[in-house]
Amino acid sequence: MVQTEARAARARREIFGTPIFGPEAAQKGYALNKMCFSFNDAANRAEFVRDEAAYCARYGLTPAQTGAILTRDLLTLLDQGGNAYYLAKFAGILGLNMQDIGALQTGLTVEQFKAKLLAARDN
C-alpha cells in the first residue's frame, strides 16, 4: 500500500503554470470538453457562433465555464477542467492554435514560446 501511495504522490507532482488534468479535472470539465469536442462538426461551430450562451447552456456548462467561454479566457477554462486538446477546438474558432495557448499558459509571447520549444528540442 505504501508503494502505491508514493507512486500516486509522484503522479500528482505539479508543473509550474500547468494545471494537471487528472480525474478531478476530467469530472469538473466533462460538459465543457464535450461541448468543445462538438466543434469537430462545422454545423456545430456555426450554431455556437450564432448564439454562444445558448450553446453553452445546451451542454450544461457552469456559470464560470460559460463566462470564460464568452470572455475568451482560455486560462480560466483550463482551471475549470478544460483539456487543452479539446480547448484547441474552441481556440480554432477564435483563430488560435496550440502555440497561442502555450504562450498564454507560460506568460510568453507566441514568438518567445516558439523559441522556447525550439531550444528544448535542440537540447
Residue 111 inside a domain? The answer is no
Residue 109 inside a domain? The answer is no
- Quick one: three-class SS letters along 18-44? ECCCCHHHHHHCHHHHHHHHHCCCHHH
Residue 12 inside a domain? The answer is no
Residue 67 inside a domain? The answer is yes
- Determine the structural domain holding residue 91 and report its residue range: 23-96
The predicted structure's pLDDT at residue 96: 85
Residue 101 inside a domain? The answer is no
Query: Whole-angstrom Cα distance, residue 31 to residue 69?
Result: 13
First to last CA, the chain: 38
Indicate yes or no: pTM above 0.75.
no
Query: Whole-angstrom Cα distance, residue 73 to residue 50?
Result: 19
Interval 9-38: pLDDT, tens: 555 566 666 667 788 888 999 999 999 999
Q: How many CA atoms lie within 13 A of 118 on its CB side?
A: 6
> 108 versus 52: which is more confidently predicted?
52
The mean pLDDT of the chain is 86
The CATH number of residue 80's host domain is 1.10.700.10
Contacts of 12 (CB under 8 A, 6+ apart): 20, 22
Contact 98, 88 (CB under 8 A): yes
Our count of domains for the chain comes to 1
Residue 121 inside a domain? The answer is no
Q: Which three cell numbers stand for residue 32?
A: 465543457
Residue 123 inside a domain? The answer is no
Residue 115 inside a domain? The answer is no
> Is 15 in a helix, a strand, or coil?
strand
